Every structure is written in structure tokens, then in C-alpha cells.
Structure 1
């Protein structure tokens, strides 16, 4: 989302030229992937943390550009709404305690930003959806003043041709319509970047898809919006619906949504996924770089594939392929499903669990993919987002045999050793494995995720005070415990 652009209006000629350049990008990527040694090298882990800015009353504070300017830190970028910032964590080698490095980096950045935000009487919160949001916190006035966001908003509204409709069920179902896409900015995530060699890409990506519902079930931290108790991870339906340009015909052939779990298991490798995104999704920002990828190759440079990367940034799959021209060029898997918060230690533990599960399941893919068709995996993802640890997911017992519906909590308890083996297989230090999986194990033992804590605290407070006051008081407790970096399993009620 952070790539800035120069123009906001586009012609049919722009689109035609851009489509041709996208095909050039795909041909060049194919050429790179056929080059011996491309993308090989030690694995690494990185992440992006999206954060809220709030005032002393816990309401959104629209000063992200001011805080960014004051921070003078190139690792920070602006997000769509003026009360959101993003921190790009440095990448760490897998044998260099990457999850501890991520936790430490987040703790240090949050400490750095607190006194800066305080200049505007602000604070920083890492939480999936801010519970104190009001409908007045959205609209054109809250959009960060960058050409990219204005152009993206204009393109999506034009394709929608009307209001964006949001319908989310739950204990207090929510229905509303928005004239713009700023509801997307309610969702803040902890997005993981995992470098993978091309020859292992298909299997690793499929394993990540299998593992994501399980990690999401125990990581939930977004249970409310506008005071409505909805999904454990309300971000999932909200993000999908808040920018959905489709008008669905139950008897027609609809394009896949731009926010989704994917279109099927990967069969050969990363190239097919990039091709799929180019062929299935219309360009939103048809802007060509000054030089083509073939010109860059002829000059002895690693091609930027700028058009492909820009197009990828407008298709928000929960797990998506990434090409990066850094170094000699490489591939990564971006995992976008995990929420921000509740604490740095919880986010690092969630990341360790997801990567460990994927690597631990990868050797068993032949058995698992035979038993779990892609639509089962997709079903698992949305049920995990809706019900968290209480979700019934389709999964085989003991990684073999006939699948059955089982609680996410039971499956995770069975698979923690698999995650440990997966982390060990990629060179993670044994002490780091034990430390972060114990954080997960404690959460699993008492069933307290960030979402469940929020709902339980809100219920307790509502016995004594009106809803709006209870939401603010719950957030204050959340901010306090989060600042202590106390694992959410140990947060008192």
C-alpha cells in the first residue's frame, strides 16, 4: 500500500500500455526463475505493523503525517486513514532469533513513538480494530493526503458505481453503507514476510494456506466495530466488503473479490500466482515505470518489475506472493491475516506459530492436500475468523485419515509439536522456539485471546456503565496491559 504514484487520472491508452508492460513483467519473471541460482540463499523473516493514533480520550487522532515528519524514521510509512501508521520491521536471518528481533523492534518503536505522539496529546495503539471508532471517523476528510490513496479511492468508487455495503453477523449484527473505502482503514494488521527459495515456493505457500486458519483462530483481536460484537476477527469480513466493487448476480459469473483467501492450491510455483493476479484482476493504478524490465536486464540490473509490484499492491489476498528486487532479487510470502496487537510478545508468538506450523506441515502436504480440498481450507479460514478457538475446522486426526470437523483449539493442541519441529527445521534457536510456543500454549490453556479478553472486559464494564463509556474504559485497560508487553493470556479481568 505504501508505493507512491505521480498521477491520479488514467486514460484507456494508459491501461493498454500498462497491460502490455505487465505481460513483459511476467515474461521477465519467468526468465529470472529459469536462471540457475536466482532467489536462493538463506531464509529471512520480516514484518509490518500497522498502528492506530488515538487522543487522550481514546478516539482516533488524525495526525499521522505530523507524527511521521517528527519521527524522521524511514521505517515508518503512512496508511490510508490519517490516524494510522505502519512500521516496517527490519528483516532478520532465521538463525539470528528473528522473532525475538521482531518483538524487540516493536517494543522499541512503540517507546520511540509515544513521546512524539504526545506532542499532539496522542498515543499509539496496536489493536486489530479500535473499539472506540465512530461512523464520523470515516469519510473523505480522514483520507491521508497522498496521490496513491486519492487515486485508489477514486478507482474503486468508479468501479463500484454506488455505495459499499457492509453486512457482518454476530451477537449484534451490523449493516451499513459507505460512499468511500475508508472503512478499510479500520483494519490494522501484523503482516509477515518470509523469504522462500523458488524451488520450495509452491509447497511452502500451500502449507502457509493450510496453517493460516489455525494461527488466526488463536490470534483474534478484532471482535467489535461501532460497539457491535461481531467476529473474533472482524477485520476479515470488513476488509473484504469495504472495498468490494462487485455487484453480485447469484446466477452470473462474478470476478473473485480483490480481498480473498485465494483461488486454489498452487501447482507449480510462484509464476502461476503472479499470472493469475494479472489475468484475473483489472488494473487500478495503470502507471508504467520509465524503463522496461528488459531494458534493465540489458543494462545488467536486477529488474524492478515495478508494474507487477504495483498491481500486486492492489490485490489484497490474505497470503500473497511478493517479488523483491533487493540484492539479486528474491521471492517472499506475505502473510496478511494476523491482527495488530495485543502486545509485541503476542505478535511475535503468533508469527512463530504460523511459520512453524507451515514448515512443520510442509513435509506432510501429499497427505494433507489429498484430504483437504481448497474450498475446505477457505472454509476453515472464515470459520476461524468468525469463531476463533471455538471454530469447528475441517482437519484430519493425526495428519492422516478422513477429515472431520474439530475445534480449532483441539487441533492446535495436537499440532504444537509439529510447529516446534517446523521451526527447528529452518534453524530457529531452541530457546526461542520454547519461549514463543509457551506463550501460545498458555493462551491455548485458558482460551484467552485478545478478542475474548476484549469481549469479556466489555461485558463486565457494561453491567455498570453505558456502552460508549464501557468501550473507552476497556480500551484504556487494553492500552495499559499492552504497554507492559504482558502476554494476553495473563491479562486479568
Structure 2
């Protein structure tokens, strides 16, 4: 059915349309998680802000738009305005919004003991379906380079709720989808290394982007036995370059049983024969329970179907200016690489892209990455020597103004030159505070206090100072 749609339906294409979702941690007066999303959402009173999985999280959905001309400045302004209003409203109920991949003061009991889950019933249904499919408690086991380690068992998907992200959407034509998805996969490692912002979980210093292994393990529907047998995980980077979006939806059916079965009265064939786009609710629901880091999206709007690449790689924060810089860098690279005469994915193996992704998450700015023509290279050097000029050219091809390109790509340049992203800053501050005599718990609270002050000032993270340096 979907394969037929790709060949006969009139999909929305035209100008690139973008979308953004941003998740926030809610923080209480003692700098721990605030389990108050019901009260916060009621105080905010804006339909753009919605529940997330845990009671200490919310999400904002930004209206779709094109970023040509000065569009990114408008997006920046709209997000800042919405966040300022939400921050004020949250303060009235004793909470504060934080943009950070994993809240550093979040401990294991916050995501394993009763009461962590948001009220909407869909979250309980998803939790029950994943745990039923798994058939045993989830085991989280993550080790950092310093030897610090977190191991815990959970009878729910609660540990997944520790992870907050920014998700970037780009609407593309069906015939172009494979090129854009492949390009997104190719740049995921450098993208993640440059933007890492989740080095702590449960009091331990782990990966630079601990969000990646934590989410992967927490949402795994496989028992240990099935994992050892090579059954594919539900959270995955992928296993090959694709030639069509159909490759991904075909894999959905072949490898992943439905978690949340849904049936509707819709007759998609009849609708297609009448020239109307089917909603394909079952396909969309099933796709939403398979957590690719670059996910294919089918949707309808204004009576026409469209396809989107959803990039789920980036952590939240540290600031709005950093998020906008990450956004410009991603879209610019994507547009350039997807339209090259000799695409980068024809010059590197998929396993190299997958390894880059893992190394970028684990080692951040200290990663060694593979890129055609450079072999083993650091993320900062790859960015400065190669990727930044490509991103600038891609944004130029899109029609983004020179002033906007310069504003946001200079932030990426500064981060690469300084080799300081959110993860590096958090780690270095905690090291400094521990050297001054604080224990780990006190150092994390003090670091988070400084982080929030810097974040709300909206100065890019590469300019943040380390106490005592």
C-alpha cells in the first residue's frame, strides 16, 4: 500500500519546510527534578507546550516554517519568546525550565520509584507494551572513560525519561528522501560530538552524550537472551544506506512486532483511488514506536501527504543560541551533502557512519572520526577544515541570508576552536568544584546552578567560564 502511494500519490514538496520539538527538564527550588508538569502546563496555558513521558518533563512544538532569508532569526525570536513566557509561568508554581540532555541532579530513584510517569494514558500503555514484550526487568549498564559506572534494574521504561532532546524535521519529496536520510546518517557522529550535553546520570560521569546509551537500553524490548541472539533493537542507528523511504517502512514490518495495535475504519485503497491521502494511522503509530536516531515520517496536512526526515540526535540546550546554531549547521550540511554529485555515503561504509555515531556519543570532542579524505580526524578539526564551509554553502543554496549564516555558524566555529561544548563545560566545572573540596552531589548542584544562570543569559556555551580557571 505505502509503496503504491509513493508511485502514484501527489506528495507535498515545494520549498523545504522545517519543524522543531524541544524537550525541557522541570527543576525545583533545591535543583532536583520537579514532578509538576500538570501544574506547569496549566500555568503556561499554551497548546504548543505538551506533556512528556515523565512528570519532570514538558515539550514545546514549534510551528513549521521555511528558513529562507531571515527565517532562522524569526524561529530564534519565537522560541525565545515562548520560553520566556513559559519560564515565568513555571516560576509561579515553584518550577524552572532547564535545557539539558540529562538533568545532572537526577538520581536513579527519580526514574525507578512509583510516581515518575506523566498522567496521559498513552504513556502507561507504551510502558506496559514495552515491558510485556521484554518479559523481564530492564538492565541499565553504562561505563564512563574514568571508570565510573551506573548499573540498575528497572521494572519500567522510567530511565528513558531522563533523556531530553531537540528534534529537527525537514520535509522532502519522496524521490529525494533517501539522499536526505543518508546524509543525516553520515553527519550524525560529527553532529553529536560537537553538541554533546549529557555527561552525568545518577551522580556518575559517563559518556559525553550519555543520553544515547541510556535511551537505547531503557527502551529495548529485547530480553538479554534475544539481544544475544542478534534480534534487532527498537532503538537503533540502522544497518545500511537506503535507496527509498520504503526500505525503512519495510523494515518496520519485517523486524518489529506492533507494540500498540490500532485499527481504524479507514479504507486506504478506496481513498487512494479517489485521489485522497489516507491517514495510515496504523503505520504511523507503529513507526512512532521504533526509535531510529533519524526517523522517517509520513503525515498529511491540508489534504496532501508529505514525508519528513526527523533528526533525533541532538540533546536539549545548552542555550537557545546554541540550539539555533546546531539547527543551522545541521540543515546546511544536510542540503549540501544530499545534493552532491558524488554523495558522501558512496565514499564511506555504513559501519563507519555507525562507528562515528558511537564514538561521537561516547567521547564527544575527544572522539576520532572517519571522513572520506581525512581518515581519522577530531570533530573540531573536521568541522573547521571541512564541514563548516559545506554548511555555509548549503544554507546559501537554500536562500538563507548571509547575515544569518554568519551569526549562527560563527557559534559552531567558536565551539570547535575552543573545543568546549556543554558536556566538556559540565565535566570541567565538576572537576574544578571537586578539587575545591565539594563532594560529587554538592558539585553537581553547584554546577547546575551555574549552568542555568549561563543558559538563561543565552550566551553560547563556548564562552562560558570555568570557576577558578
Is 1:394 the counterpart of 2:370 in the alignment? yes
Q: What does 1:176-215 align with in structure 2 at a 5 Å threshold?
A: 176-215=152-191
Corresponding residue number in structure 1 for 2:77 = 104
Q: Distance in 2 between matches of 1:239 and 1:365?
A: 36
Cα distance, 1:378 vs. partner?
0.4
Match of 1:404 among 368, 375, 398: 375
Partners of 1:133 and 1:226 within 8 A in 2: yes
> Which residue number in structure 2 is paired with residue 312 of structure 1?
287
Which residue does 1:166 correspond to in 2? Answer: 140
Structure 2: segments with no counterpart, 5+ residues: none
Query: C-alpha deviations, 1:425-456, integer Å up to 9, x for none?
Result: 12222211111110000111111100000011
Deviation for aligned residue 1:299 = 6.3
Aligned counterparts of 2:205 and 2:21: Cα–Cα separation in 1 = 27
1:92–1:101 CA contact under 8 A, matched in 2: no
Q: Classify the secondary structure of the residue corresponding to 1:366.
A: coil
Residue 123 of structure 2 corresponds to residue 152 of structure 1: no
With normalisation by structure 2, the TM-score equals 0.94
Residues 1:476 and 2:449 aligned together: yes
Q: 1:35 to 1:122 in 2, by over 3 A?
A: same
**Structure 1: how far apart are the matches of 2:353 and 2:81?**
36
Q: Give the whole-Å Cα distance in 2 for the aligned partners of 1:290 and 1:65.
A: 33
Q: Does the Cα contact within 8 Å between 2:241 and 2:350 map onto a contact in 1?
A: yes
1:162 Cα shift? 1.4
Moved more, 206-215 or 90-99: 90-99
Structure 1 gaps of 5+ residues are: 1-26, 398-402
Superposition pairs for residues 50-65 of structure 1, below 5 Å?
Answer: 50-65=23-38
Distance 1:252 1:144, change over 3 A: closer
Q: Distance in 1 between matches of 2:80 and 2:193?
A: 24
Contact in 2 for aligned 1:203/1:365 (Cα 8 Å): no
Tell me: CA distance 1:375–1:41, structure 2 relative to 1, closer, same or farther (3 Å).
same
Question: Which residue in 2 is equivalent to 1:438?
Answer: 410
- 1:298 deviation in Å? 5.7
Q: Which residue number in structure 1 is paired with residue 385 of structure 2? A: 414
Q: CA-to-partner distance for each residue in 1:125-184, whole Å, 9 max, x for gaps?
A: 010000001122113311112211111111111121211111112121222211110100
> How much has 1:295 moved relative to structure 2?
4.5
8 Å CA contact retained: 2:337, 2:343:
no
Alignment of 1:79-118 (within 5 A): 79-118=52-91
User: SS of the residue aligned with 1:213?
Assistant: helix
Which residue number in structure 1 is paired with residue 461 of structure 2? Answer: 488
User: What's the CA shift for 1:367?
Assistant: 5.5
Distance in structure 2 (CA, Å) of the matches to 1:460 and 1:489? 17
Determine if contact 1:46/1:91 at 8 Å carries over to the other structure.
yes
Matched, 1:456 2:456: no
Which residue pairs with 1:256 in the alignment?
Answer: 232
Q: Is 1:235 aligned to residue 211 of structure 2?
A: yes
Pair 1:350 & 2:326 matched:
yes
TM-score normalised according to structure 1 size: 0.90
Secondary structure in 2 aligned to 1:145? coil
| Counterpart Cα distance in 2 of 1:296 and 1:80 | 34
RMSD, aligned α-carbons: 1.8
Seen in structure 2, the aligned counterparts of structure 1 residues 180 and 250 have a Cα distance that, compared at 3 Å, is: closer
Tell me if structure 1 keeps the 8 A contact 2:332–2:390. yes
| Matched length | 460
The yes-or-no answer on 1:225 pairing with 2:225 is no
8 Å Cα contact 1:187-1:239 kept in structure 2: yes
Shift of 1:362: 2.5
- Give, in angstroms, the shift of residue 106 of structure 1: 2.1
Tell me by how many angstroms 1:290 deviates. Answer: 3.3
On the 8 A contact 1:356/1:420 being kept in 2, the answer is yes
